[in-house]
Structure 1
């Protein structure tokens, strides 16, 4: 007969095997919960950023529990862009975090509702050296880095973060001015690698430059590329924005304005292709984070120099609320013990997806970490030449796999870090419907 202590130790061993380095029919949902389309009125844009670096010790998200910070190497930011055309106002904000639960995204949306309504995308760069806001990486038993016995979330920091994100959006809204757009895409070799399947690697970088009209000075630059932000490895204890921080600072240095990096289909397992030393050991250093960030920045800047201006661009928004079964027994166990705090409705998570049309560009949001093949599926459905897949947007539901991959031994880790095997079918159907509705209403410029 198991004692309480032995039972707890057994559960700890199972937990260690499941928490790693990264972190059916859908119920009634609301397809096209909101549809807005502007006429060809002038486009306005504003951008701002707010520092969100923690001032106290925090538990760092990713890799394993009990990774308490020991200082700050470089700052974290919330980077916001607001676009307005006629009655349509859309906000995009990206945070230097591993991820943010949908419950907290909805609180941020309520704070910005006065200026944006519900038309807001909140995404994370998937930074593995930022505060744990999911809960899975808190203090562990005996400090051994095994099982967290409580959530790693600093509630005071989380409340401050939400206020600062709303503040960045309000500042971006105050900065609105007439704007014009330029799009570009390019292939970037040697920066990323898929350690599960090297044949599955989307090397496309898609970029949008928002310029003042007239004048031409940069308001914002949006970059979309797939790669885990984990150049700094599990032994790092300093808060850092990792390569996305270097990327954004370099783009801002070259072009001005505010740079925003949105991760793409980075799941299963697309990570940084770091250099090795003379003994073949991987270099998980700040110098490598800088090299990779600057490589992506140079690729984006160079592509945008010969980018395509958008002629009379039209702005549109469509979204759908979804409910995803909360099937992962490890997550359910962690929620039961208060380690993960997430609201459920009849055993399901509320989340959402959105489609943004902007001239020849189209954006889709995915509430987690889709595998590269799923990103390709979405791009095939999208119209126009510039296709942005915004991962970790609106939520962090872990890895998102199709039915075939969900059953493969190769993806055992990703499966253990996925909310449900039903996530992809539900997300796919919703986005397909929204894209079809957008195409029927007014095709994306080609």
Structure 2
């Protein structure tokens, strides 16, 4: 039986004016001077999907970027395919790097900043790993010294090539690389949490060497927050790198358990943003909603616009939100085979670059926020996450979990909770820095 009642999404957007800031400046902002969040999209080329790197056509890219800029967005997250860019451990193809720079320059000409994911890695159910880490050359991508050195050189090379571009935001190490480290991957490179932390440190340092001072970070799919014994932990996500990346997908059991019109669906991204703050050591660490989308059939096509508005408005009610980057820009062509069905229809735009209802709704939200923006007030209620620092059992935080349902119950009652780790719940300095004035245990929610 669910304890999360349905609630129609009808959130309000903020209402005073400020100008968006340069991407790096948000890193040091307090909650009281939080700039308007950034709005962007994960760039999925309309022709050839990510295989476009094999037949790179800058004119097609420019046309795609024109359609993205037409929605009023200010940045794109782009995905070089790792095997195409580094087919041998000691060969990083100069021509591929030049094409990436050309894409970034074309984006800049259209007022779009660029974040680059390096290790691709994993995209829309397909893995893209070079031959030098698989089959006859199978080596652990997280711990083998030669492999990690090759990855570091690759990321350093990409970052260095873009370092002088004013529209370069920074590097993301790769897209959801944590999925290679454990179940349910069919052939994982198993590691410990300590090894995961060391790998992140090494590769983030390589990005910083290539492009000092940029916003370099890493990202995980939600196993890091919800899956027991997963080697990438909430602490890694919330403490390593320049910002915390959130990838929010309601097909993870949220929609299936609670229903499309539920509080849980409308507030899932908001919940993940606030959950991440329990493990953050910086009171106002920026959080980037780096992936969120409206997957069908979980979100029916006729509800995509409503879902977009509810999700974004609820995320905007989270202090220290760096930005929202929708997944994805353009639909995947039906000419391409073997994708999960939901992957074909996630775009804000069609293959012919026409805006869809979610795209039009996001464009409307962007205009409203840029005209009327007020930073959200601190969240005064801290719901205690009763887990140790080195968390292994974390299913309580996922759909169906006791913590998850308590948080959603508070939201459904009209509260604005945040999360606080049990070890910090009695730290007055920590609570004051975050604006928390009331601390609740999960048991208190039901009393």
TM-score grouping bracket, smaller chain normalisation: under 0.3
Taking structure 1 as the reference length, what is the TM-score of the superposition?
A: 0.27
Structure with the largest fraction of strand: 1
Taking structure 2 as the reference length, what is the TM-score of the superposition?
A: 0.27
Structure with the largest fraction of helix: 2
